[in-house]
Amino acid sequence: MVLPVLRRIVLLLLALIIPACGYHFPGGNDARLPHLRTFYVDVFVNKTNEVDAGEIIKRAFTSRFVEEGRFTLAAGSKSADLVCRGSIKSIQVSPLSYKASNIAAEERMTVVMEVIFEESANGHAIWADRALIATGDYLTGNTSTVEKNRKNALLKLAGDAAERAYRLMMSDF
């Protein structure tokens, strides 16, 4: 008697749990912006002293679009349906932890950027964030590895920012 009741409870729970596992953003990637097929990521204006930051972020955004496979890369902004533009407003570095000698052992890089996705034909903004923030942590270690670690942190935070911006733009948030 207990076994059939227990079996029904388990089946009922499975019936309720399994459909809930398919979370997705509203509309999905294919339903949003069906008329836009090609994209181009314009140069990110770098308003900071961090060398190559604009190019690193531009490459991260381009890579994100290519990896997603939803759009095709255009040769330039004039031949693209969708253009991503942006600027790096600030880059700040702050210590996260200290060595016994009171020197920073780990630092956090915080980048504030403006990102705009717009239709190239009419300049209509599809999605924009005037203060997109991304962070990356790195070890300061010895002087020979600090710059490499710092650049790797910038590469990672650029990739994270590109993914977040792409997802938000495609989900219409």
Q: Which residues lie closer than 8 Å to 49 by C-beta, 6 or more apart?
A: 91
Asked if residue 28 is part of any domain, the answer here is no
- Report the SS3 class of residue 74: coil
pTM value? 0.77
Beta strands in 10-124 (DSSP E): 38-46, 72-73, 82-98, 104-119
Q: Which structural domain, as residue segments, surrounds residue 64?
A: 33-171
Asked if residue 20 is part of any domain, the answer here is no
H-assigned helices in the chain: 2-17, 28-31, 53-68, 143-171
Give the model's pLDDT for residue 173. 59
- Report the SS3 class of residue 125: strand
Asked if residue 11 is part of any domain, the answer here is no
Asked if residue 65 is part of any domain, the answer here is yes
The number of folded domains in the chain is 1
Asked if residue 96 is part of any domain, the answer here is yes
Asked if residue 75 is part of any domain, the answer here is yes
- CATH number for the domain including 38? 3.30.160.150
Give the model's pLDDT for residue 27. 42
Asked if residue 17 is part of any domain, the answer here is no
What average pLDDT values come out for the chain (173 residues) when binned by 10 residues?
Answer: 65 56 46 82 94 95 93 93 96 89 88 96 93 94 85 96 94 73
